Amino acid sequence: MPKKYFYFFGDKKNTEGNTKMKNSLGGKGANLAEMARIGVPVPPGFTVSTEVCDLFYRSKKSFPEKLQPEFLKYVKKLEKASGKKFGDPVNPLLVSVRSGARVSMPGMMNTILNLGLNDRTAQTLAAKTKNESFAYDCYRRLIQMFGDVVMEVNREKFKITDKNLSEQEQAGLFKDIYKKECGQTFPQDPLTQLALARDAVFKSWNTPRAQTYRELYKIPHTIGTAVNIQTMVFGNMGQDSATGVGFTRDPSTGEKMFYGEYLINAQGEDVVAGIRTPHPINELKSRLPRAFNQLKQITSRLEKHYKDIQDFEFTIEKNKLYMLQTRTGKRTGPAAVKIAVDMVREGLIKQTEAVRRVQPDQLNQLLHPIFDPKEQKKFPVIAKGLNASPGAASGQVVFNADEAVAQAEAGQRVILVRSETSPNDIHGMAKARGVLTATGGQTSHAAVVGRQMGKPSVVGCGVLKVNEEKKLFVVRKDGQDITVKQGDYISIDGTTGEVMTGDVPTQESEVIQVLKEKLDPKSSKSYQHFAKLLGWADKIRRLGVRANADIPSDAALAIRLGAQGIGLCRTEHMFFAPERLPIVQKMILAKTESERKEAVNQLLPMQTQDFVGILEAMQGFPVTIRTLDPPLHEFLPKKEELMVEIATAKMELSRFESNDPKKEELVNTIQSKEKLLSRVSELHEFNPMMGHRGCRLGITYPEITEMQARAIIEAACRLKQKGKKSLPEIMIPLIGTVAELTNQKAIVNRVAEEVMKKYGCKIPYTVGTMIEIPRAVLTADEIAREAEFFSYGTNDLTQMTFGYSRDDAAKFLSYYVEHKILPHDPFVSIDQTGVGELIKIGVKKGRATRPKLKIGICGEHGGDPASVIFCHHAGLDYVSCSPFRLPLARLAAAHAVLGEKS
Amino acid sequence: MPKKYFYFFGDKKNTEGNTKMKNSLGGKGANLAEMARIGVPVPPGFTVSTEVCDLFYRSKKSFPEKLQPEFLKYVKKLEKASGKKFGDPVNPLLVSVRSGARVSMPGMMNTILNLGLNDRTAQTLAAKTKNESFAYDCYRRLIQMFGDVVMEVNREKFKITDKNLSEQEQAGLFKDIYKKECGQTFPQDPLTQLALARDAVFKSWNTPRAQTYRELYKIPHTIGTAVNIQTMVFGNMGQDSATGVGFTRDPSTGEKMFYGEYLINAQGEDVVAGIRTPHPINELKSRLPRAFNQLKQITSRLEKHYKDIQDFEFTIEKNKLYMLQTRTGKRTGPAAVKIAVDMVREGLIKQTEAVRRVQPDQLNQLLHPIFDPKEQKKFPVIAKGLNASPGAASGQVVFNADEAVAQAEAGQRVILVRSETSPNDIHGMAKARGVLTATGGQTSHAAVVGRQMGKPSVVGCGVLKVNEEKKLFVVRKDGQDITVKQGDYISIDGTTGEVMTGDVPTQESEVIQVLKEKLDPKSSKSYQHFAKLLGWADKIRRLGVRANADIPSDAALAIRLGAQGIGLCRTEHMFFAPERLPIVQKMILAKTESERKEAVNQLLPMQTQDFVGILEAMQGFPVTIRTLDPPLHEFLPKKEELMVEIATAKMELSRFESNDPKKEELVNTIQSKEKLLSRVSELHEFNPMMGHRGCRLGITYPEITEMQARAIIEAACRLKQKGKKSLPEIMIPLIGTVAELTNQKAIVNRVAEEVMKKYGCKIPYTVGTMIEIPRAVLTADEIAREAEFFSYGTNDLTQMTFGYSRDDAAKFLSYYVEHKILPHDPFVSIDQTGVGELIKIGVKKGRATRPKLKIGICGEHGGDPASVIFCHHAGLDYVSCSPFRLPLARLAAAHAVLGEKS
């Protein structure tokens, strides 16, 4: 049991607390004490500590009897410090009673102002301020607040119907209401008021509202709140009084400027409530120059003292300045970066601290186009989906990829809206400004590709009824159907998931303009800050970062974004190119092995060119190339579409005369479609995600692996002939048993030997595997006998570990997260308990066999800060993510190291 | 290094080996020694041990020089024992040289007969047997065999074109051929012949053929073969000579009778080759009474000695009986059971040994209908699929479930043929004699339901092109298309996977007739044996057995088959009943919660009746009832079918005049179908196996769990009112995180309290969970906080652990097993390395939290003997399987205990 329960603050000498004592004093109390301690003028007061809150709850919600004498001692101390006395008819002490926990819970707990007023002191206040209506307004508010907070009388009960009553008469009426509702008169004794108010603050810690808030933000229920009892000061004591709030720097841009607002002759509430329009703080200089200068000096000192931007509140009572609050200021992403970099330059903080100050997610705001916040308000939000890929986009709606391409090439801005997207839509997604889908979760095709392209995307927007045939979608909102047709403008915000009708103006960030080489880095301060901060992060982090990229231009971008290699180059995206798809289909539909080999061989020169491009772009950095992964039917038309086409064509058949030559043509069409349907049906799978894909394809169709291995090694050999280095890592997907890898590795090695012999050179390639099947984790020791590296495919691993199909889970996952069955969407941030456990098992088993085994992660989680930190602690060598996520990953990796040290 | 390399056998005194020395002597050598040791007449000989084989391979495939003197000593010993000499012109020694490994590898290695013949001894043999053609035929065969085995000359090279040549001339011709092919003359020195033959036998151990055989049957390559050199005896020395083979009991029925065949004046090969028709062995009594009696006495003694049925070979040379081989006789399932039971009664073996002697799979033959083996040969096999549910069935082909019901009720035997089956087909499957599908694996719907119903099923028969619309299927065989139409007869063998055209006669086993209460158990010996053996198994085993059963009649059957409870009662099967499906669909299509609740409430009385039935049938044994598991769209029509119907109807629309009232009707139909399609599309999932199913349904639609819990507890309460005990265990499926179980358990407990209060009684129900999601295993310690029991759902667990969809994996699994990427189909027998590891982790973690946690398994593996044994060792409390698998599980569980002791 600690000996000290109460902490005084007021002047340097008598102040007992400091900023480090947030556990006992709460954030507000600790900062008030700190300010007082360093000589900043604060109205005197004292803090009843959180330990008392604990005792209060242990004593069946009553203030511990034995602490009563000490409490009264502090009241006396306060009276002495303020030179005022509770209930004194001449110089009455008025106080505020406020809660203050270790962690801020804005608006969650109770506050009582003007405590100490009663019939007599109200009169005194009126006389002293020469403002009767102000004084009785204060009294009236106290009665109402007290009734609400202490006696639990609904605020609405305090109503004034007769508008002609004076403030004093209104106060009288409120006392009557109080008596009627509470069955007792409003307590005139200020000490009684104080005791009741203090206890009411403690009780407010456990309201359902506060409990819910804590659960939401993961704040422990046990930390309790402190109670701050502080002398009231008044900014509304005339033209020499004022009140205001401010920041030591611009929290929106980070610019170093005095920033804030004030009102003359007003109370703090008036600034916040917006009843009167406040003035820019610099204008205070001409109104109350002495107080202004003092304020500027004090806040500047506070910033230096706290070594961070301060968010402060002040009141000037009759030319005398009081600081009421100071705390670390919240800021936007761009401001966070600029302030961190500036403060290092100013010598306030070290580089590591600058890195620690910026949250990885904040970097998003520097990377993605954004809506003009003022403009945005004018447009109605019609739906909200999952915020799959951040950034803002607006344009005309199109419902298929080809039209997206056509219209974009005609110079229009388009938003591609689909029920869902598939690899067939990639060309359209590339040309669209943004993508909106009705189904799919955070790692659905649209989401993954959207993020990879840095394309604003909202997915899984279930309220959308998309009719691709009729080219419209319908949203039901407030009992009405809103229909959006092709060509209508919509705007989507990939950062919030909001969908708006209309064309909300957007802007591309400077950083992006530099990265896309549209803007000289020298002319962008924000890029320079961004680059400097990430440079510091790079010096701190040990975890490598790589990019998921399939094409040379993405690879080049990835290098500019700090990639140290490619962690995942998907080869199937190359198969969907329009000029290749027919050959791929020929390969699939082949009846004989030789027919299939012929088609595969046609793909060889194309794939070789692909790999020459990407290996060259990566300038000798390692490039992990995954062999073919998706099920073959993804390359064929959909079964149900074919069935409808055939049925329709057959109906049509009956319309023709029997000798009509068109009839024969139609019969032929039907026959060829039926043939195609038969193959599509053969390839149809109930659960394609767990079907004939990944290495299962490479094993049953070895010629595909053979062709891909040949293309990779050929590409590396050709580059070597031109004197260029390359480092291909060939990755076999979906391994579940070591025998699969043995099989595929043998093919790769055989082909590689052949090709290297032909070119007369050696390529330092390696062969490894994705770890994405639970069984691969469980047998990682066996698999590591063959695998020269592991790369966790956490998308699939999450699917299999939970038994969630990422394309379907959106239907219940949002419900799960909302009802706290899951803490978060496991496709967004690694499930550290389940999937994380598997990752750790795999690392342990893999390195038991091969101690220096290189292990990375190439799932979507590679760009999620929490997951990056997890990967660091799990002992991985690198994370790989989509290029635009690289900055986040670099910063998060640095945070992981900083977290280790602290 | 052992000191002994050669083992003599011949008479009691000189014999050096015995039956336990199979590792050194091989099976044949050890049994020859054993017979000699106990005084059974065997032609003398000696065995070159497997250790010599090992040295032979270590010496670069040559006989170790240092063993040469010892080898020659044994040759001398043999000459002495036989009273004959190699190469002796008067009394020449002839021997056979045969391989013999520890494990029998029939036909895989080499044998040479009549070794010791040369130009001179052939003449002697001719004179002694007074049969020149016999003697030279022997010589000729030796030359050919020797050329083939020792010199690797193709047998075909030894051809006789001139049919007029005498046997002696033919032998001369063979010597010429030998010389031409080998470049040297046929060795005349018997010792040279012997050395070369011995080494050739050793070499034959490593032919590719033998290696493949060992890989197939998992025989280690390192055990090596022994070589048996044994004096030849001749059953073709006249009317006082004979040869034959036999069993000490009927290997087909197990009947205790002397069983076998013989030929007078013949060699062993003649009996086997079927050149002459042999006679029943009992007829030998009248031909050679003394030898016959001796044979009967000896074999009877051998059976007593070995305590098992013997499969023997003998030769009578001039009235003298020689035993050439004895070994444990192979037998059918029914025979195995009968023999085991009989031998206990005869005092030959103990009950545990009887249980050990019968392999669980052998019980299948007593349980399933079988084809008449003689009749079966007459019908052509047109295809082979997976042997999903054993037994034989024949009947007329139907292509949909309704027609199966209609025709079966009209008295026809039908076989239901489908591309795949779904829960919609269950009524048809129930009425069909057998089920044949083109797709799906060993745990596809058809396979699982087939086995559960004990219905012969062949699934995944990929060569079948099923056209359900046209009501036919086509199979391509030998370049020709065979078309089978509705109404044609086919026969399927679920034990072998074979499909035949035509109506092969079948018969239901006696055991089944008893179990189905069509036959009095007292009148069936085979049932009595079966029941007795399983009774003994029950005394040995510790693992509990339960049945997977959904309806009272299955539950009753399960009890007759030894179930100690129901391990899995699926509630969804109840939802598919024709009168319920519309209500279920109403529930799914409901737009509001109240609409849905109304439909759910309509189901309540029906479900209550279901549970009354099954709980009552189980007579107080525990009944594990699983809440709703499958995705909702399984209860709705298929998306593509609806799409085709709508498209077709729309085409049709244009044919009507605009005022045609039928047009309006059609428009209405289209609209309602479009509405249905829209809901079906909403519910559509890309990977339904990992979609919105299991507890995910119960959580998002709590009214379903509520209704099911109410029905279960109501049923138990009503039974209690009637004085009947019941023990419901409510099982929540597809749990991946403890929060899911907490949620569902709370619903169940709340409802149970309500119902028990209403009835004023207590039901000893428990709430537990399936463990079928890898994450459930990884967090089993957390889950066990809530779960009162675990039941492994190894079907799903195997799916998720491997990432194999059981409905799709057939496409590559057969390839995988064939190419040894997997040792076996993991849906048939538990993958002990991966899935097994998870099972062990889950047991450990679960019992860490709740030491006495009851853990079972209710996947398909519960009826697979190897998996049952695994479950025993993993510490599970029980296995649950389809009723007809219960005998196998009981026996396998006993084997698990016996395996522990040995």
Catalytic residue among B138, B461, B569, B858: B858
Pairwise CA distance, residues A119 & A87, whole Å? 10
DSSP-assigned letters across all residues of B702-713: HHHHHHHHHHHH
Which residue is associated with the tokens 């094993």?
A699
- In chain B, whose CA is at the least distance from the CA of A840? B778
Q: Is the per-residue pLDDT at B332 higher than 80?
A: no
CB distance A644–B643 less than 8 Å?
A: yes
Find the range with the poorest average confidence among B477-491, B652-666, B736-750: B652-666
Q: Do A779 and B833 touch (CB under 8 A)?
A: yes
Q: Is B53 assigned a catalytic role?
A: no
Residues of B in contact with A733 (CB under 8 A): none
* Chain B residues touching residue A779 (CB < 8 angstroms): 833-834
Label residue A272 by pLDDT band (50, 70, 90): low
Predicted local confidence at residue A271, as pLDDT: 63
**pLDDT digit string, tens, across residues A824-837:** 999 999 999 999 99
Residue A216 pLDDT: 65
pLDDT of residue A347: 96
- Fill in the DSSP letter of residue A131: -
CB neighbours of residue A180 within 10 Å: 10
Q: Which residue has the higher pLDDT, B632 or B760?
A: B760
Distance from CA of A812 to the nearest CA of B (A): 7
Q: Is the pLDDT of residue B732 over 80?
A: yes
Q: Read out DSSP for B247-299? A: ESS-TTT---S-EEEEEET--HHHHHHTSS--EEGGGHHHHSHHHHHHHHHHH
Q: What is the mean pLDDT of residues A267-279?
A: 66
- Min CA distance, B681 vs chain A (Å)? 10
**Min CA distance, A733 vs chain B (Å)?**
12
State the residue for tokens 């007078």. Answer: B264
CA distance B214 to A38: 88
**CB B289: neighbour CB atoms within 10 A?**
10
Site from B687, B689, B743, B827 to mutate, A interface, most A CB atoms within 10 angstroms: B687
pLDDT-derived band at A1 (thresholds 50, 70, 90) equals very low
Nearest to B510 by CA among B500, B519, B499, B522: B519
pLDDT at residue A161, as a whole number: 80
- pLDDT single digits (tens) A120-172: 999 999 998 888 888 998 999 899 999 998 998 888 888 888 888 888 899 99
Average pLDDT over residues B312-331: 92
* pTM of the model as a whole: 0.82
Collect all residues of chain B within an 8 Å Cβ-Cβ radius of residue A819: 699, 743
| pLDDT number for residue A273 | 52
List, for residues A183-239, the tens digit of each pLDDT value. Answer: 999 999 999 999 999 999 999 999 887 887 787 677 888 899 999 999 999 998 889
DSSP A425: G
Question: Tell me, what's the pLDDT at B178?
Answer: 95
CA distances from A711 to A95, A438, A718, B879 (A): 79, 38, 10, 51
Q: What is the set of active-site residues of A?
A: 445, 858
Between chains, do A778 and B685 touch, taking CB under 8 Å as contact? no
pLDDT tens track for A771-791: 999 999 999 999 999 999 999
Scanning the structure block, which residue is given the tokens 């057995």? B545
Among partner residues B690, B809, B834, which is closest to A778 by beta-carbon distance? B834
Q: Please name which of A826, A771, A774, A763 lies closest in space to residue A800, comparing C-alpha atoms.
A: A774
State the average pLDDT over residues A715-739: 97
> Reduced to 3 states, what is the DSSP secondary structure of residue A575?
helix
pLDDT at A274 over 60: no
Compare CB distances from B690 to A740, A805, A833 and report the shortest one's residue.
A805
Q: Do B773 and A807 touch (CB under 8 A)?
A: no
Q: How many CB pairs under 8 A join A and B?
A: 186
Task: Assign A426 a pLDDT band (cuts: 50, 70, 90).
Answer: confident
Q: What integer pLDDT is reported at residue B442 of this predicted model? A: 63
- The answer to whether A310 and A35 are in contact (CB under 8 A) is no
Structure token digits, residue A338: 């600029």
Amino acid identity of residue B659, one-letter, is N
Is the pLDDT score of A477 beyond 70? yes
The answer to whether the Cβ–Cβ distance between B834 and A743 falls below 8 Å is: no
Contact B812 A696 (CB under 8 A): yes
How much is the average pLDDT of A414-429?
87
**How many angstroms separate the CA of residue B651 from the nearest CA in chain A?**
7
**Cα separation, A42 vs A36, whole angstroms:** 6
pLDDT of residue A275 exceeding 60: no
Q: Which of B803, B821, B833 sits opposite A690 (nearest CB)?
A: B803
Q: Which residues does chain B have within 8 Å of residue A687's beta carbon, measured at their own beta carbons?
A: 687-690, 805, 807-808
Token digits for A111? Answer: 């506050």
Determine the residue among A778, A835, A840 to mutate to test chain B binding: the one whose Cβ has the most chain B Cβ atoms within 10 Å: A778
Closest approach of B569 to chain A, Cα-based (Å): 22
ipTM: 0.81
Mutate which: A419, A459, A640, A646, vs B, most B CBs within 10 A: A640
**Band of pLDDT at residue B273, cut at 50, 70 and 90:** low
List, in sequence order, every beta strand (DSSP E) within A420-565: 434-437, 457-459, 465-467, 472-477, 480-485, 489-493, 498-501, 506-507, 544-548
Three-state SS letters, A81-111: HHCCECCCCCCECCEEEEEEECCCCCCCCCE
Mean local confidence (pLDDT), A360-375: 83
User: Which range (A84-88, A570-574, A728-732, B118-122) has the least confidence?
Assistant: A570-574
Active-site residue identified among B53, B138, B368, B445: B445
**What angle in degrees, to the nearest 10, is found between the helix axes of B190-204 and B132-149?**
50
Of residues B773, B801, B803, nearest to A734 (C-beta): B803
Average pLDDT, chain A: 91
| pLDDT for B632 | 84
Model confidence at B1: pLDDT above 50: no
Could you tell me which of B347, B443, B431, B419 has the C-alpha nearest to residue B395? B431
Count CA atoms within 13 Å of residue A58 on its CB side.
10
The token duo for A132 is 């009767």
Query: Which of A740, A796, A822 has the CB atom closest to B821's CB atom?
Result: A740
pLDDT 10s digits, A596-629: 999 999 999 999 999 999 999 999 999 999 999 9
Nearest CA to CA, how far is B795 from chain A (Å)? Answer: 13
> Exposure string (b/e) for A820-855, b if CB count within 10 Å is 16 or more?
ebbeebbbbbbbbebbbbbbbbbbebbbeebeebbb
State yes or no: is B824 an active-site residue.
no
**Distances from the Cα of B180 to the Cα of A536, B119, B184, angstroms:** 87, 18, 7
Cα-Cα-Cα-Cα dihedral sign, residues B793, B794, B798, B801: positive
Express as a percent the part of chain B with pLDDT over 90: 66
Mean pLDDT over A459-481 rounds to 89
Confidence of residue A443 (pLDDT cuts 50, 70, 90): low
**pLDDT at res. A644:** 86
B295 has pLDDT over 90: yes
What does the H/E/C string look like for B153-168?
CCHHHCCCCCCCCCHH
Q: Which of A651, A808, A819 sits opposite B690 (nearest CB)?
A: A808
